[in-house]
Amino acid sequence: MDLKPIYKNVIEGQADAVESGVKAALAAGVDAGVILNEALIAAMDEVGNRFEDGDFFVPEMLIAARAMQAGLALLKPHLTAIDVQAAGKIAIGTVKGDLHDIGKNLVAMMLEGAGFEIVDLGVDVTPEAFVKAVQEGANLIGMSALLTTTMSNMSATIEALKAAGLREQVKVMVGGAPVTEEFARSIGADAFAPDASSATRVARQLVA
Amino acid sequence: MTELPPARPTHQFFDRQQCEVIHLAALEILRRTGARVHHPEALELLREADAIISDTNLVQFPAGLIEWALAQAPSNVTLCGRGTSQPAIRMEGMNVSFGTGSDCLNYLDPRTGEHRLFKAEDVVACIQLVDSLPEIEFCMSMGIPSDLDAISPYRHQAALMMEYTSKPVVFISGDKADCEAIVAMAAAIAGGSEALRMNPTLLCYSQITTPLNHGETSTDKLLYMAELGLPIVHMPSPMMGGTAPITMAGALALGNAEVLSGLVIHQLKNPGAPFVYGQGLHHIDMKTTISVYGAPEFELARAAVADLARYYNLPHWGYAGHTDSCVMDEQAASDATSSILVALLTGQHLAHDIGYIEAGLTTSPEMIVFSAEIINRMRHFMQGMSFDADSLALELIHQVGPGGDFLKTEHTLKNFRSFWQPVLFNRRRMHDWQKKGSKRLADQLREKTVSLMEARQPEPLSGSLKDELVYILQAAR
């Protein structure tokens, strides 16, 4: 069965068409993991590329992600553990003291679009909450801060991971308007991503 | 809730009373001082209309004659693109259309950075560039080709413009014979002189010599265009401190007297013929003696001339996108930006000289492309802000509520494209910008200009019309 229409409808943000396409593909016996990787995730990769090239804008990226999620919801009952674990499990949140979550939500949507399992810890997330998420199986954590005054809490989380003896088993990525590559290095994070689509690329490199 | 119309940025420099002062000053200059008219037919028309003529050609104008002429001239002029009756440019209200300048000797080649004499192929490339940029709405020749007929380059320039762009053309001519040849070419393309008069595709630009001198050749052109009922901008360029008083009010009054005396001659020849008000009021720089383009005084003069023309209810001529800088640099960018904003705020109907650098001695295609970006940006500024229910979005604010976000809403998806998106200007942050090659605006601009100039294929003029242009060019020799 041709998965191209699903791919195209994800890129164009047509959630209803994606749903009917996924239903038809499942009914025709196409493997759920194949639909996920070859139609949904491939489409979101293309969306990310277009965004990085300046051809797509944030609202377009968002409706594409929404269409992808509509398809994913139908696939979930059919996916095997192997399909899901392939990408990884990411716990994400804005750091303690920071309530600005638009950027974090965008990153979460794009990561989910790329096939990651997302544990959204929300806003104002304490170091302890990040530690707990890692204990519960997250192999990557993403921290975001908009304020220069809250950036320092990123390093508090990393210190807490070390104290709990978990630092070696988890990758840490950071982002947000004031965050730079240098800052990320200085606090001992594994990676920095300046925006939602590069976050996807960076996360894949980290768990590869 | 009451719905209001959109709010838009506006600007008014002169009020009615201030315009009246300049009007009455011009009447006094023309009554008391008079103007020289070096043209027998024009002198005859003036004598018949009860102007006083002494010392062979010194004409003193009664106030009533000037106000009669003002009442005859049409309040608006429209210009059409090639092959359509739909106006491309409506010179009315606060409308602004942008176009290039004419007749530079030098060309700043965007590919090599070389500053050299214009060649015919450069003029063609520039005209094609204008044709490809929607922000540039009319075309002036930009350069005098050094490798074409040195005796009458103007009709060649006009032929190139008619061939390589379908946009309205503003032409320069050496004499009446040039005008005849150029009008004949335009009429051939329009399908006859009647069609051309109803849907004019061209505007003649000619000069009055400040102070108060109507030369024979330019008056020839004025009478010819009046007779045909085709539009002309017949205007002086008073140079404050040189050919005009150094104070702006005096220079403006003098320039106004010159335009109005030209208008009288024009309307006496053919009452109701279309006339475009213009004054290239500027000043002489007392360090370098150039006539300055990049100056606050130049921009004030534009605001004054636009308000004065509006007071007379006449379509008018303006300036934008020019600089005194010798290259496409930060100075050029700053001059382009402020002059374009001033043109839009003051509602200059035909803002020309886009692409002029070195105070009008050189045309830079990069300056044209940069100006197009600024025009686009400032037109967004001029759109202002809407007050309708969808724009106030109270229902949406209520639905999203405290702590929500607007990013995912349909309202955002539907409306975000109305925000200005730059082509040349950077919005990336440092890390990302470096990754994309650390390009400065000048680098982006050069690449964009060269790619536009290489990409453009104009719609070619049909073979028979092209033959006709060639025939007219040869016959006119």
- Assess B437–A contact: CB distance below 8 Å, yes or no: no
Which residue has tokens 């809407």? B386
Domain of B53?
1-387+420-477
Which residues, 6+ apart, have CB-to-CB distance to B395 below 8 Å?
A: none
Closest partner residue to A102 (CB to CB) among B407, B413, B429 is: B407
Q: Kindly state whether residues A73 and A121 are assigned to the same domain.
A: no
B429 in contact with chain A, both atoms CB, cutoff 8 A: yes
Backbone angles phi, psi at B474, to 5 degrees: -70, -40
Residues A157 and A199 in one domain: yes
- Which residue of A lies nearest to B426 if distances are taken between CA atoms? A54
3-state secondary structure of B196: helix
Q: Are residues A78 and A99 in the same domain?
A: no
Q: Which helix (H) or strand (E) holds B54?
A: strand B52-54
Alpha-carbon span A46 to A52, nearest angstrom: 10
Q: Out of B407, B430, B432, whose CB is closest to A58?
A: B407
Tokens 């329009």 identify what position?
A: B190
Q: Name which of A153, A148, A85, A103 is nearest A124 in CA terms.
A: A153
B100, B130 contact by CB (below 8 A): yes
Same domain, A21 and A121: no
Looking at the structure, tell me whether residues B354 and B232 fall in a common domain: yes
Q: Where are the alpha helices (DSSP H) in A53-114?
A: 58-75, 81-85, 102-113
In contact, B180 and B160? CB cutoff 8 Å? no
B63 φ, ψ (degrees, to nearest 5):
-60, -40
Residues in chain B: 477
Q: Does A35 share its domain with A99?
A: no
Phi-psi region of B267 (alpha: psi -120 to 50; beta: other; left: phi over 0): alpha
Residue A83 pLDDT greater than 70, yes or no: no
pLDDT at residue number B240: 96
B408 touches chain A (CB under 8 A): yes
Q: Which of the listed residues A33, A56, A82 is the one where a domain comes to its end?
A: A82
What domain count does chain A have? 2
* A195 part of contact set with chain B, CB < 8 Å: yes
CB contact under 8 A, A181 and B431: yes
Provide mean pLDDT across the span A46-70. 89
pLDDT for B461: 83
- Whether residue A196 is found in the same domain as residue A101: yes
Q: What is the crossing angle of helices A196-207 and A102-113, to 10°?
A: 50
* Same domain for B145 and B96: yes
CATH number at residue A62: 1.10.1240.10
Q: Range of A74's domain?
A: 4-82
B412 in contact with A, Cβ within 8 Å? yes
Residue contact A59–B405, C-beta within 8 A: no
Residue with tokens 């060639």: B470
Asked if residue A86 has pLDDT above 80, the reply is no
Angle at B418 between CA B415 and CA B424, to 5 degrees: 135
Same domain, A32 and A98: no
Q: Would you give the end-to-end CA distance of chain A in angstroms?
A: 30
Name the DSSP class of B136. Answer: -
* CATH code of the domain containing B119: 3.20.20.480
A21 & A107 share domain: no
ipTM over 0.90: no
Strand partners, B60: B52
Instruction: Tell which of A53, A102, A109, A202 to mutate to test the B interface (max B CBs under 10 Å).
Output: A102
Domain end position, chosen among A82, A113, A131: A82
pLDDT of residue A208: 77
**How confident is residue A3, by pLDDT bands cut at 50, 70 and 90?**
very high
Structural domain count of chain B: 2
Tell me how far apart the alpha carbons of residues B382 and B3 are, in angstroms, rounded to a whole number. 20
pLDDT confidence band for A1 (50 / 70 / 90): confident
Q: Which of these three, A82, A98, A119, is where a domain ends?
A: A82
Q: Token digits for B165?
A: 């762009």
Same domain membership, residue A72 and residue A152: no
| Cβ separation A60–B431 shorter than 8 A | no
pLDDT tens, chain B, 477 aa long? 677 889 998 888 999 999 999 999 999 999 999 999 999 999 999 999 999 999 999 999 999 999 999 999 999 999 999 989 999 999 999 999 999 999 999 999 999 999 999 999 999 999 999 999 999 999 999 999 988 876 778 999 999 999 999 999 999 999 999 999 999 999 999 999 999 999 999 999 999 999 999 999 999 999 999 999 999 999 999 999 999 999 999 999 999 999 999 999 999 999 999 999 999 999 999 999 899 999 999 999 999 999 999 999 999 999 999 999 999 999 999 999 999 999 999 999 999 999 999 999 999 999 999 999 999 999 999 999 999 999 999 999 999 999 888 988 999 999 999 999 999 999 988 888 998 899 999 999 999 999 999 986 666 688 888 888 888 888 765
User: Nearest C-alpha of chain A: how many angstroms from B322?
Assistant: 31
Based on the fold, state whether residues A46 and A130 are members of the same structural domain. Answer: no
Note whether A181 contacts B: Cβ–Cβ < 8 A: yes
Same-domain check for residues A93 and A139:
yes
Residues A39 and A72 in one domain: yes
Last residue of a domain, one of B372, B403, B418: B418
The pTM score is 0.89
Partners of B159 in the beta sheet? none
State phi, psi for B54 to the nearest 5 degrees: -135, 170
A189-to-A26, A162, A183 alpha-carbon distances in Å:
41, 12, 9
Both B350 and B397 in one domain: the answer is no
The per-residue pLDDT for B282 is: 95
- Residue B405 and residue B267 share a domain: no
